Amino acid sequence: MAKFRRHVFICTNERGPDDSRGCCKAKGSEDVLQAFRLALHKRGLKRIVRANKAGCLDQCANGVTVVVYPDAVWYGRVTAADVEEIVERHIVGGEPVQRLVLPPEALSGIEPAAHPEA
Ligand code: FES
């Protein structure tokens, strides 16, 4: 079994057109996923870096949403055209692409530590 060094989770959640929350699928997430897989394959990284489909990552307004672990770097409004840059600069070079990084204050959701009863 491959031991992956990084996982890239790409939200591919789909909602109906009447849902006001929107969804990453409608913003091109399948193209983003395929672009990641192609970029990783091209560089011979597919056995150590895995691009995974993810359900809703609770950042719908910022979609297409991508998160890279174990780095815990969140990207927002990612398009297929951004993927080569993310793979080259972040996955290969170790430096997140700051123009696409979602700052902590932009992330929706609640830190578990802030709500110990949860
Ligand atoms: S639908 Fe993609 S983050 Fe919610």
pLDDT for position 104: 87
Q: DSSP for 79-100?
A: -GGGHHHIIIIIIITS---GGG
Ligand 1 centroid–CA 108 distance in Å is 11
pLDDT for position 111: 53
Least confident of 39-48, 60-69, 108-117: 108-117
Pick the CATH number of 8-104 from 1.10.3720.10, 3.40.50.970, 3.40.30.10, 3.40.50.300: 3.40.30.10
Helix (H) or strand (E) holding 35: helix 29-42
Mean per-residue pLDDT, 21-27 = 96
Nearest to 50 by CA among 85, 99, 1: 1
Atom of ligand 1 nearest to the CA of 14: 1
97: tokens are: 């692409």
Residue 116's pLDDT band (boundaries 50, 70, 90)? very low
Q: List all residues whose CB is within 6 A of at least one atom of ligand 1.
A: 11, 13, 23-24, 56-60, 63, 65
Residue 118's pLDDT band (boundaries 50, 70, 90)? very low
Atom of ligand 1 nearest to the CA of 22: 1
Residues 86, 75: Cα–Cα separation, whole Å: 9
With 0-12 / 13-18 / 19 or more C-beta atoms within 10 angstroms meaning exposed / middle / buried, residue 7 is middle
How many CA atoms lie less than 13 Å away from 100 in the CB half-sphere? 26
Residue 53's pLDDT band (boundaries 50, 70, 90)? very high
- Ligand 1 test: best mutation among 27, 65, 74, most atoms within 8 Å of CB? 65
Contact 75, 65 (CB under 8 A): yes
Ligand 1 centroid–CA 15 distance in Å is 9
Task: List, in order, residues 6 or more apart from 22 with CB less than 8 Å away.
Answer: 15, 60, 61, 63
